[in-house]
């Protein structure tokens, strides 16, 4: 048995052992407080939250004043939503809720000033405990974007550690004195190596944070002059220099390399895409000349589209392409180009998380999935989150786990050949009838070794094997090309 096959079976055994022990991968979902102001059908309030969708639910965002006192965001002043948010735990007592402080729009300067002042830090710590306990939160999520950057100071790197240390000491003491479960302390952290190196003393932070939420998205967008994917699993051949690290796989591996245990690494998954306007409709691939794309009709931000806006737009036409190197799809309709994730690509990413035994997945954001089931390609509400979650925490619903990719998922792809294949607009049941009257499971695609059929309750799901691998009928898994006898022509050859 070769080393790749050994690693495959070890990974499967570890995953099975984890599930058998009753432990769960974390499914950490952010709820944005501004989503309730979107026009219908994008309006999302606490009433739209599925209490059983996630293991951890984070309210974004709270803020703090010039003295470090935590306060509700201005969007929450008129009607504080914290009570309604935490009432979801009445239906699911196992759900953990956290309050996120900060965010991109809040900036870095206020954090820098607060963290550099012992009095303001104490105010921040004290008010965090009172607000979290008063409103029945289970913890705090720090969204400082980012220490040292965006007007911050060099001392931020040390001060962020100090802030986390003082918070953890206070939370531990409060739990000891009250007899309550200690409040959780987490942080949303960047994907850029430059930001990580500049602002994060990772080994020290690891002493005080319960887990790290990796913001592994926004790798490319309208700020670039060419098309690029929002959240590629692996690097594109067009990525060079620092951009070669702008992908989910590399970022997760790097956070582990610099000091975070795998079980504390929560890998970020996006339920939205970044849109571009192509300079020419005749050049529509990855790295094509482009500028910022259109806004979604509900999310109303240039170059940004929720999944429900993307899949709804697909109903008007266009083509979906799947990039076998990056392992993600993109959508082209006229001069509009969108790099996004669908059910298939999120299952692939979830398998990477399981294979490498990271702590779980983080979702930005629940209000951007097809929560209203407005798309004809969706078979249920929250299709993206559920597809990925079922890979990590199977509950007996749909067995949506793709075959595990052999070998170390943090290694670089074994081929640099760019392959683009046209697939259905979104992963879901096809009309081929292949799985009719077949037992649930994985089956070879007679037309191509590069994909396979996943049959469940008579429904047919066509899925591509990751780049460099082919479907092996003898093991019902995707294995390295050299190990598989294939009798069909290979498109990517």
CATH of the domain at 19: 3.20.20.80
Task: Report the pLDDT averaged over residues 308-321.
Answer: 96
Q: Which of 262, 295, 274, 172 is nearest to 232 (CA)?
A: 274
Residues 388 and 436 in one domain: no
Res 16: pLDDT: 40
Asked if residue 493 is part of any domain, the answer here is: no
The domain total for the chain is 2
What share of the chain in percent tops pLDDT 70? Answer: 82
Preceding omega of 108 cis (within 30 degrees of 0): no
* Residues recorded for the chain: 493
Question: 207-244: per-residue pLDDT in tens?
Answer: 999 999 999 999 999 999 999 999 999 999 999 999 99
Q: Is the pLDDT of residue 395 over 70?
A: no
Res 136: pLDDT: 96
Asked if residue 367 is part of any domain, the answer here is: yes
Examine the residue annotation and report whether 145 is marked as an active-site residue of this protein.
yes
Res 404: pLDDT: 33
Asked if residue 335 is part of any domain, the answer here is: no
Task: Report the pLDDT averaged over residues 373-398.
Answer: 86
Q: How big is the CA angle at 351 (ends 361 and 264), to the nearest 5 degrees? A: 35
Report yes or no: 276 and 222 within 8 Å, Cβ to Cβ: yes
Residues 62 and 189 in one domain: yes
Report yes or no: 185 and 208 within 8 Å, Cβ to Cβ: yes
Residues 464 and 377 in one domain: no
Residues 361 and 439 in one domain: no
Residues 372 and 478 in one domain: no
- Rounded Cα distance between 155 and 152, Å, is 8
- 46, 74, 87, 145: the catalytic one is 145
Taking the CA atoms of residue 229, residue 237, residue 485 and residue 320 in that order, the dihedral angle to the nearest 10 degrees is 30
Res 390: pLDDT: 95
Res 438: pLDDT: 82
Task: Report the pLDDT averaged over residues 85-104.
Answer: 96
- Rounded Cα distance between 443 and 321, Å, is 23
CATH of the domain at 469: 2.170.140.10
Asked if residue 306 is part of any domain, the answer here is: no
Residues 241 and 175 in one domain: yes
Asked if residue 290 is part of any domain, the answer here is: no
Give the C-alpha distances (Å, rounded to integers) separating 104 from 108, 146, 155, 212, 276: 8, 9, 20, 17, 21
Q: Which of 18-22, 180-184, 309-313, 387-391 has the lowest mean pLDDT?
A: 18-22
Residues 143 and 255 in one domain: yes
Task: Report the pLDDT averaged over residues 203-209.
Answer: 98
- Rounded Cα distance between 390 and 383, Å, is 11
Residues 382 and 446 in one domain: no
Residues 439 and 370 in one domain: no
Question: 424-456: per-residue pLDDT in tens?
Answer: 322 333 445 788 888 767 788 888 888 888 776
pTM: 0.78
The residue range of the domain holding 433 is 429-483
Preceding omega of 146 cis (within 30 degrees of 0): yes
Residues 365 and 478 in one domain: no
Asked if residue 57 is part of any domain, the answer here is: yes
Q: How big is the CA angle at 446 (ends 452 and 339), to the nearest 5 degrees? A: 40
Q: Is the pLDDT of residue 38 over 90?
A: yes
Q: If pLDDT is split at 50, 70 and 90, which confidence band does 487 have?
A: confident
Residues 109 and 220 in one domain: yes
Asked if residue 293 is part of any domain, the answer here is: no
Residues 383 and 450 in one domain: no
Asked if residue 27 is part of any domain, the answer here is: yes
Res 430: pLDDT: 44
């Amino acid at each position: 048995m070769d080393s790749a096959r050994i690693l495959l079976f070890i990974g499967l055994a570890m995953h099975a052992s984890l599930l058998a022990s009753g432990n769960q991968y974390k499914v950490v979902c952010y709820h944005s407080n501004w989503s309730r102001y979107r026009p219908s059908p994008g309006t999302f309030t606490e009433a739209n939250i599925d209490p059983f969708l996630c293991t951890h639910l984070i309210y974004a965002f709270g803020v703090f004043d010039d003295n470090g006192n935590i306060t509700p965001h201005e969007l929450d002043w008129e009607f504080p939503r914290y009570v309604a948010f935490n009432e979801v735990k009445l239906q699911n007592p196992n759900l953990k809720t956290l309050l996120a402080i900060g965010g991109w729009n809040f900036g870095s300067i206020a954090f820098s000033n607060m963290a550099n002042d012992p009095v303001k830090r104490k105010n921040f710590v004290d008010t965090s405990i009172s607000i979290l306990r008063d409103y029945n939160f289970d913890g705090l999520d720090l969204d400082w974007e980012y220490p040292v950057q965006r007007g911050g100071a060099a001392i931020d790197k040390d001060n962020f550690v100090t802030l986390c240390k003082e918070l953890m000491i206070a939370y531990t003491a409060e739990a000891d004195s009250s007899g309550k479960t200690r409040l959780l302390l987490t942080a949303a952290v960047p994907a850029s190596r430059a930001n990580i190196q500049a602002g994060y003393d990772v080994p020290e932070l690891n002493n005080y944070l319960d887990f790290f939420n990796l913001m592994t998205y926004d790798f490319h967008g309208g700020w670039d002059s060419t098309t690029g994917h929002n959240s590629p699993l692996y690097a594109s051949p067009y990525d060079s220099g620092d951009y070669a690290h702008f992908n989910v796989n590399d970022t997760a591996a790097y956070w582990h390399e610099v000091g975070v245990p795998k079980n504390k690494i929560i890998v970020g998954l996006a339920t939205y895409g970044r849109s571009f306007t192509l300079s020419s409709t005749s050049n529509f691939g990855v790295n094509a000349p482009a500028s910022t794309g259109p806004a979604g009709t509900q999310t109303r931000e240039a170059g940004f589209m929720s999944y429900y806006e993307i899949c709804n737009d697909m109903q008007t036409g266009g083509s979906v392409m799947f990039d076998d190197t990056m392992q993600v799809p993109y959508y082209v309709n006229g001069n509009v180009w969108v790099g996004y994730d669908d059910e298939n690509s999120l299952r692939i990413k979830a398998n990477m998380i399981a294979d490498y035994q990271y702590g779980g997945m983080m979702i930005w954001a629940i209000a951007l999935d097809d929560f209203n089931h407005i798309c004809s390609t969706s078979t249920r509400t929250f299709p993206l989150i559920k597809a990925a979650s079922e890979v990590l925490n199977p509950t007996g619903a749909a067995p949506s786990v793709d075959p595990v990719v052999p070998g170390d998922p943090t290694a670089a792809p074994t081929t640099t050949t760019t392959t683009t294949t046209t697939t259905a607009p979104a992963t879901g049941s096809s009309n081929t009838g292949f799985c009719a009257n077949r037992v649930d499971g994985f089956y070879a695609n007679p037309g191509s070794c590069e994909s396979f059929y996943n049959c469940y309750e008579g429904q047919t799901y066509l899925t591509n094997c990751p780049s460099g691998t082919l479907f092996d009928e003898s093991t019902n898994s995707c294995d390295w090309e050299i190990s598989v006898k294939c009798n069909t022509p290979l498109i990517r050859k």
